[in-house]
Chains A and B, each alone.
Chain A
Amino acid sequence: MTKNSKLSLFDELGLSESLDYALSTCARCGFCKPVCPTHPFGGGFEAFSPRSKIYHLKKIKDGKGELTNDWVERLYQCTTCERCVEVCQTDIPLVQIWEAARAESVKMGSGPMPAHKKFGKFVEEFDNPYGEPKAERDRWLLPDIKPSEKAEILLFGGCTCSYKMPPMLQTGAKILTRVGIPFCYAGGKEVCCSSPILRTGQIESAKRLIGSNVDLFNEMGVKKIVTPCSGCSKTLRHDYPVWAKHLGKKWDIKVVHFSEIYVDLLRQKKLKPVRELKRKVTYHDPCHLGRAQNIYDEPREILNSIPGIELIEMDFKRKDSKCCGAGGGVKANYPDMATEISNSRVKEAEETGADTLVTMCPFCQTSFTQSLKALNSPLQFAGVEELLLESLE
Chain B
Amino acid sequence: MALRYLPFLRRNLLRNRRRSFLTLFSLAASIFLVVVLEGLLRHLDDMPRADGSEKRLIVRNAQNFKDPIPASFGGKIHQIPGVQGVCALFLYWGIYKDLKPEYFFPKMALDAERLRENYPETRIVDPETGAERPALFDQFVADRRGASAGINLYRKYGWKIGDRIVFRGMGLPDVEVTLRSCYDGPERSSFYFHRAYLEELMGNPGAVTFFNVICENAEDLPSVASSIDALFANSQAPTVTETEKAFQGQWVQMLGNVRFLLRAIGLACGFAMLCVSANTLAMTARERASEIAVMKTLGFTPGKVLTLLLSEVAVLCAIASAIGSGGAVAMFLFPGPWHDMGGGFLLGMRIPPDLAIAALPLGIFVGWASALWPFLRVAHAPIASTIRRTG
Q: Do A and B make up one complex?
A: no
Using a CB–CB cutoff of 8 Å, the interface residues on chain B facing chain A are none
